[in-house]
Amino acid sequence: MHITTANITDRDGAEIMLSRAKKNLSAVKTVLVDGGYTGEPFAEKVKAILGATVEVAKRSERHKFAVIPKRWVVERTFGWLEKRRRLWKNCERKLNTSLQIVVLGFIGLLLNRF
């Protein structure tokens, strides 16, 4: 996970995160992203950093519900995390605190599974 300030775009944040986690992501062959990451510049940066390809999971039509393969996994996880009241709004003053709150949310999800 990587959390940035609001003045950093998602694409730039993803590039920073991939660069920092390059060693742990060496086995990754494909990076699954949403429509906001479409385009050759981002795909080329991912290829340069990880040597992986980018697969975009786009919605087929607007305003129509359809289960899109692979994308539902991400949306389901966001739904689970949104049940954590502290994550509804970001009221934290420091990025590290925000990161730790998300980590605690995931720990809570794990503990509920057992």
Do 40 and 85 fall into the same domain? no
Range of the domain at 88: 64-114
Number of structural domains the chain divides into:
2
Its pTM stands at 0.69
Residues 40 and 14 placed together within one structural domain of the fold: yes
| pLDDT tens-digit readout, 10-52 | 899 999 999 999 999 999 999 988 888 888 999 999 999 999 9
47 phi, psi to nearest 5 deg: -60, -40
